[in-house]
Amino acid sequence: MKNIDSHTHVTGTSVYLDDLPILQGTLFAAAYGSPVAHGILRRLEITEALQIPGVVRILTAKDIPGENQIGGIIPDEPLFADHHIHFAGMPLALVVAQNRDAARTAVKKIQAIIDPLEVITNPRIAQAKGELIMPAKSVIQGDTNAAWPQCTHIFEGAIDINGQEHLYIETQGAYAIPQEHGSLKVYSSTQGPTAVQRTIMRVLGIPMHRLEVVVTRLGGGFGGKEDQANTWAALCALAAHLLKKPVKYALHRMEDMAMTGKRHPYMADFKIGLDAALKILAYEVTFFQNAGASADLSPAVLQRTLFHCTNAYFIPNVSATAYSCRTNLPPNTAFRGFGGPQGMYVIEAAIAAAAAGLQVDKSLIQSANLIRTGEAFPYGQIAESEASACWDKAVALYDLENIRAAINAFNAEHLLLKKGLALMPICFGISFTNTLMNNARSLVHIYSDGSVGISTGAVEMGQGVNTKILQVAAQTLGISYDRVKINATSTYTVANTSPSAASATADLNGKATWIACNALLERLLAVTDLNVSRERLSIQNEIVLLDGVATDWNWLRLVNTAFVQRVSLSENGHYATPTIHYDSETGKGHPFAYHVYGTAIIEVTVDCLRGTYETDSVKVVHDFGVSMNPDIDRGQIEGGIVQGIGWMTLEEVIYNEQGKLLSNALSTYKVPDIYAVPKEILIDHLHTDNDNLAIFRSKAVGEPPLMYGIGAWFALRDAILAFRPDAVIPFVAPMTPEKVLMALYSKQSVPAYEEKVSHL
């Protein structure tokens, strides 16, 4: 089935926040963000701004009727700074005006008198100064100290991984409209309508039942709107509440880039020990997460880094410690993979360091250590399948030996063009790491004309979740797709939802929809006069079958009969993932419903004169379970791979030492374009058919493929080494063309990176 949004997308008629018709009297907002990253606010000079024609009011912290607090996991983030400023771009004031231009012009006229304080942007420095978001966390398996003497080889290293701008095509925004009795209706470009609702409840001091948060769809989220849509919705709600007028704020791209958090940059130190047979015996890793100025989702992101710090490998002795470090950057936040990719890059780098030291191919160490059924992840969960299944299939299917031979032949023939190769296995746990978030509800109405309307907590953001939910309903009820409609997500129809995140949205909301549809099916099939046991009845193509044979009951007759008999045609399905648990005291449990595995073979070509490169191919064997929608899943994999390659190779978030974002527009922040995408992406399936935890035995597909992109970094490294076997290539991501060039031609090492890793 095609994505149900494809037609309106390509004809430009899909409705996003900025497409909503503007109500008469609507005011427009723009935030004034702090010009400095750290300081004490002495005074705000707003007289001149107030004189701009059209300006209605300028709001600050003292206008907040409730709490000046938007921190979710930890209450450490004011909506407006009122004294202590923690990052450049932190909102100090909100201009509300009759039009957008007036609001933006007025913002430029505001002046803040600030006593500057020392700015910290480096997480290692923050950690050394005790600037931590929370106490360090760790995950431990076995005993590394006892294991080191048994290791034949030990390697150590340091890592520096940059962040990533979400670059959702639709920027952040909200539109708040006052309703009767002090209620508010808020359209928000958010992955988490309930998070927006809770934040507004807190800031305005209004009960949640008066706050209707509505989301039609997003032009992308990628994690950037899991928590950070709250700010803009709360600002609009505040202004609408105080001024009793509709208030809209859709951020300009440069505002969005400068004021919102990104994927967390991480620094890390590793120590890896192997025996003579290339088995990894011990792995010690310390992560320094650059959390930015407040917690946001950083504690949960850190947890996932620890969970995925051994990627798809079994390592008997692991000691992983992670610090969430407070710096003066915008609070970093969820981004597809949610800390997992950073953990996985570090273990891949450690394996690469070992391979280089031992002069063996990296893939030999990788394949010798893939986790097997029955082995434990460091957090205690037992692997339920073989990581080697995807790996072995990829090696055989794509003929790795032949790929290698072709690359060697190419490299022997070419002086200035070199090809590189990497294999990238992935293993990603599916479920919110915070167990209580793993639940969803679906409200299904069958109308008396036989049409079906569905509301869930799922937010459509281009990932195709609405299409999948529609499939679940139509297939469960045995009716045509045209009969089903998925409604906009609203806190008035489905309450207390988890954000659409963690790759789990289709699983959770699909299951809830399945439960609701099954309950309706039971009720409908009970109204026939067939007088047979339920198991003998089913519906296919809208016809009721008895032992597989058509009866004269069909969908419409069932619905009409049920309606006449006053049988409820509505159902609210609730699903909570079974079996998951995790004890944060012991660091052990079974936090994930299941794992998604896969392996990618990545080939690149480097122009060794210019440092530029191309990705020739990404060949994947991916564990889909049983894909519910191969077209949508393929789109997720292709997009994930390109986004992962972008993070690892091209995209460079740059702050200066004063904490000011330099890469603040698309002219200075390079994302993959059509020329940077792999020339070839081949995707094959591993069918794992024994998994009944996800909807229709499909597996979650949103985040895992991003991590195939990590292979691009190591393929580039491989190509550089083919040109210059003695190249020193620090474990610094992204591997931009500049860095490739430096690795190719620097005298001995790459001085620009030395400073970053100088603590060693």
Q: Which does 59 bind (CB under 5 to 8 A by kind): ligand MOS, ligand LUZ, none?
A: none
Q: Say which amino acid occupies 351.
A: I
Q: Should residue 590 be labelled a site residue for ligand LUZ when binding is judged by CB under 6 A? A: no
Going by C-beta distance under 8 Å and a sequence separation of 6 or more, which residues neighbour residue 543?
A: 550, 551, 553, 554, 555
Stretch that binds ligand LUZ, among 53-61, 145-153, 274-282, 427-435 (CB under 6 A): 427-435
Amino acid at 676: A
Q: Which is nearer to ligand MOS, 503 or 736 (CB)?
A: 503
Question: Quick check: 700 binds ligand LUZ (CB under 6 A)?
Answer: no
Is residue 433 a contact residue for ligand LUZ (CB under 6 A)? yes
Total residues binding ligand MOS (CB under 6 A)? 10
* Residue 490, SS3 per DSSP: strand
CA distance 723 to 568: 71
335 binds, among ligand MOS, ligand LUZ, none (CB under 5 to 8 A by kind): ligand MOS
| Alpha-carbon gap, residue 304 to 337, rounded angstroms | 9
Site string for ligand LUZ, 325-354 (x = CB under 6 A): ---------x---x----------------
- Smallest distance from ligand LUZ to CB 593, Å: 12
Residue 502 CB, nearest distance to ligand MOS (Å)?
A: 5
Query: Residue 296 CA to chain centroid, in angstroms?
Result: 14
560 binds, among ligand MOS, ligand LUZ, none (CB under 5 to 8 A by kind): none
Long-range contacts of 398-404 (CB under 8 A, 24+ apart): 398/601, 398/619, 398/682, 400/363, 400/601, 403/601, 403/603
Say whether residue 706 binds ligand LUZ (CB under 6 A).
Answer: no
Here's the x/- map for ligand MOS, 180-219, by CB under 6 A: it reads as -----------x----------------------------
Q: What are the counts of helices (DSSP H) followed by strands (DSSP E) for the chain?
A: 20, 30
User: Which 8-state DSSP code applies to residue 145?
Assistant: H
Spatial distance between the Cα atoms of 116 and 114, rounded to a whole number of angstroms = 6
Q: For residue 464, is it left (φ>0), alpha (ψ between -120 and 50) or beta?
A: left
Which of 137, 245, 336, 511 is close enough to bind ligand MOS by CB under 6 A?
Answer: 336
Interface pattern 501-540 for ligand LUZ (x via CB under 6 A) = xx--------------------------------------
User: Is there binding between residue 334 and ligand MOS (CB under 6 A)?
Assistant: yes
Least Å distance, CB 626 to ligand LUZ, is: 22
Q: Specify the residue, 88 or 501, whose C-beta has the smaller distance to ligand LUZ.
A: 501
Cβ closest to ligand LUZ, residue 557 vs residue 595: 595
Residue nearest to ligand LUZ (CB): 338
Q: How far apart are the C-alpha atoms of 514 and 272, rounded to whole Å?
A: 46
Residues 436 and 507 sit within 8 Å (Cβ to Cβ): no
| 280-292 and 317-326 beta bridge pairing | parallel
Query: Which one of 318-326, 430-438, 462-470, 543-551 is the stretch in contact with ligand LUZ (CB under 6 A)?
Result: 430-438
Distance between CA atoms of residues 711 and 615, nearest Å: 11
Q: Please answer whether residues 666 and 253 qualify as being in contact, where contact means their C-beta atoms are separated by less than 8 angstroms.
A: yes
In terms of CB distance, is 91 or 223 closer to ligand MOS? Answer: 223
Instruction: Pick one of 168, 335, 723, 731: the residue that binds ligand MOS (CB under 6 A).
Output: 335
CA distance 287 to 274: 21
Pairwise CA distance, residues 517 & 519, whole Å: 5
Q: How far apart are CA 279 and CA 360, in angstroms?
A: 13
| CA pseudo-torsion sign 380, 385, 386, 387 | negative
For the bound state, the minimum distance from the C-beta of residue 107 to ligand LUZ, rounded and expressed in Å, comes to: 32
Out of 46, 300, 424, 593, the only residue in the binding site for ligand LUZ (CB under 6 A) is: 300
Distance (Å, whole) CA 481 – CA 474: 6
Interface pick for ligand MOS out of 200, 484, 501, 741 (rule CB under 6 A): 501
Of the candidates 270, 268, 253, 266, the one whose C-alpha atom is nearest the C-alpha of residue 327 is 266
**CB of 4 or CB of 334, closer to ligand MOS:** 334
> Smallest distance from the beta carbon of 643 to ligand MOS, in angstroms?
11
CB of 700 to ligand LUZ, least distance (A): 10
Is residue 302 part of the contact set for ligand LUZ (CB under 6 A)?
no
Binding-site size, ligand LUZ (CB under 6 A):
13
Q: If DSSP codes are grouped into helix, strand and coil, which group holds residue 164?
A: strand
CA distances from 375 to 28, 141, 383, 625, 691 (A): 57, 12, 6, 21, 18
Query: Of these partners, ligand MOS, ligand LUZ, none, which one is at the site of residue 442 (CB under 5 to 8 Å by kind)?
Result: none
For residue 96, which of 233, 247, 244, 204 has the smallest C-alpha distance? 247
- When binding is defined by CB under 6 A, the residue of 28, 87, 175, 338 that contacts ligand MOS is 338
Q: What is the DSSP letter of 701?
A: -
* Residue 300 contacts which entry, ligand MOS, ligand LUZ, none (Cβ below 5-8 A, type-dependent): ligand LUZ
| Residue 304 binds ligand LUZ (CB under 6 A) | yes
| Residue 191 touches which member of ligand MOS, ligand LUZ, none, C-beta under 5-8 Å by kind | ligand MOS
Q: Is 222 in the site for ligand LUZ (CB under 6 A)?
A: no
Interface pick for ligand LUZ out of 175, 187, 345, 432 (rule CB under 6 A): 432
Of all residues in the shown chain, the one whose CB is closest to ligand MOS is: 223
Residue 223 as a binder of ligand MOS (CB under 6 A): the answer is: yes
| 502 near ligand MOS (CB under 6 A) | yes
Applying CB under 6 A, does 226 fall inside the site for ligand MOS? yes
Which is nearest to 500 in space by CA: 104, 305, 221?
A: 221
Sign of the C-alpha dihedral, residues 14, 185, 502, 257? positive
Q: Catalytic pick from 165, 284, 652, 703?
A: 703
Q: Which of 609, 605, 578 is nearest to 594 (CA)?
A: 578
Q: For this structure, is 703 an active site residue?
A: yes
Strand partners of residue 268: 159, 287
Name which of ligand MOS, ligand LUZ, none residue 307 binds, using a CB cut-off of 5 to 8 Å depending on partner kind: none
Cα–Cα distance, 168 to 217 (Å, whole number): 12
Q: For the packed helices 465-477 and 505-525, what is the interaxial angle rounded to 10 degrees?
A: 20
Q: CB 334 → ligand MOS: shortest distance, Å? A: 4
Please identify, using beta-carbon distances, which residue of 45 and 583 lies nearer to ligand LUZ. Answer: 583
208 touches 201 (CB < 8 A): yes
Q: What is the DSSP string of 385-431?
A: S-THHHHHHHHHHTTHHHHHHHHHHHHHH-SSEEEEEEEEEEEEEES
x-or-dash string of contact with ligand MOS, 430-459, rule CB under 6 A: ------------------------------
Could you tell me if 80 and 61 are in contact, meaning their C-beta atoms sit under 8 angstroms apart?
yes
Closest CB to ligand LUZ among 299 and 711?
299
Q: Which residues are catalytic?
A: 703
**Contact residues for ligand MOS, defined by CB under 6 A:** 191, 223, 226, 334-336, 338, 501-502, 703
Contacting positions for ligand LUZ (CB under 6 A): 223, 226, 297, 300, 304, 334, 338, 432-434, 501-502, 703
